[in-house]
Structure 1
Amino acid sequence: MDYYGYELRRAREAAGPTLAQLGSIVFCTGSLIGQIETAARVPQREFSERVDAALGTDGLFSRLVGMVLRSQLPSWFQPYAEMEAKAASISTYQAQVVYGLLQTPEYARAVLEAGWVAGLDGQVAARLERQRILALEQPPLVWVVLDEVVLHRPFGGRGVMRKQLTHLLKFQGRREIRVQVLPLGVGQHPATAGGFTVMRFDGHADISYSENYDSGFTTANPSVVKDCAHRYDHLQAAALSIEDSAKLITRVREERCAEEAEPERSAVA
Structure 2
Amino acid sequence: MVNIRSLDPSASPLDFYGSELRRLREEAGLSQQQLGDVVYCTGSLIGQIETAKKVPTRRFSEQLDAALMTGGLFTRMIGLVLKSQLPTWFQPYADMEARATYISTYQSQLVYGLLQTADYARAVLSVDNPERLDELVAARIERQRVLEREHPPVVCVVLDEAVLYRKIGSAEIMRRQLAHLLSFKDHPWVQVQILPFESGQHPGLLGSFTVLRFDDDPDLFYVPVYGGGHMTADQQVIRERSVGYARLQATALSREDSAALIERVMEERYGHQPGPEVA
- What is the aligned partner in structure 1 of residue 125 from structure 2? 112
Give the superposition deviation at 1:117: 5.4
- Report whether the alignment pairs 1:59 with 2:72: yes
**In the aligned structure 1, how far is the partner of 2:40 from the partner of 2:184?**
32
- Report whether the alignment pairs 1:37 with 2:50: yes
Amino acid paired to 1:176: W
- Number of positions where the alignment pairs a residue of Structure 1 with one of Structure 2: 263
Amino acid paired to 2:83: R
- What is the aligned partner in structure 2 of residue 151 from structure 1? 164
**In the aligned structure 2, how far is the partner of 1:21 from the partner of 1:247?**
52
- What is the aligned partner in structure 2 of residue 171 from structure 1? 184
Q: How does 1:110-259 map to 2 (within 5 A)?
A: 110-116=123-129, 118-259=131-272
Amino acid paired to 2:177: Q
Amino acid paired to 2:140: R
- Could you list the per-position Cα deviations for residues 102-155 of structure 1 after superposition, in whole angstroms to 9, with x for gaps in the alignment? 000000000111234541111100000000000000000000000000000111
Give the superposition deviation at 1:213: 2.0
**1:96 aligned to 100, 104, 109, which one?**
109
**In the aligned structure 2, how far is the partner of 1:262 from the partner of 1:32?**
39
Please list every run of 5 or more consecutive structure 2 residues that lacks an aligned counterpart in the other structure.
1-13
- Could you list the per-position Cα deviations for residues 23-61 of structure 1 after superposition, in whole angstroms to 9, with x for gaps in the alignment? 121121111111000100011111001100100011111
**In the aligned structure 2, how far is the partner of 1:202 from the partner of 1:116?**
35
Give the superposition deviation at 1:259: 2.0
Please list every run of 5 or more consecutive structure 1 residues that lacks an aligned counterpart in the other structure.
264-269
Give the superposition deviation at 1:261: 4.3
**In the aligned structure 2, how far is the partner of 1:22 from the partner of 1:146?**
46
TM-score, normalisation: structure 2: 0.92
Amino acid paired to 2:254: S
**In the aligned structure 2, how far is the partner of 1:213 from the partner of 1:118?**
19
How large is the RMSD of aligned CA atoms in angstroms? 1.2
TM-score, normalisation: structure 1: 0.95
**In the aligned structure 2, how far is the partner of 1:61 from the partner of 1:259?**
42
Amino acid paired to 1:251: R
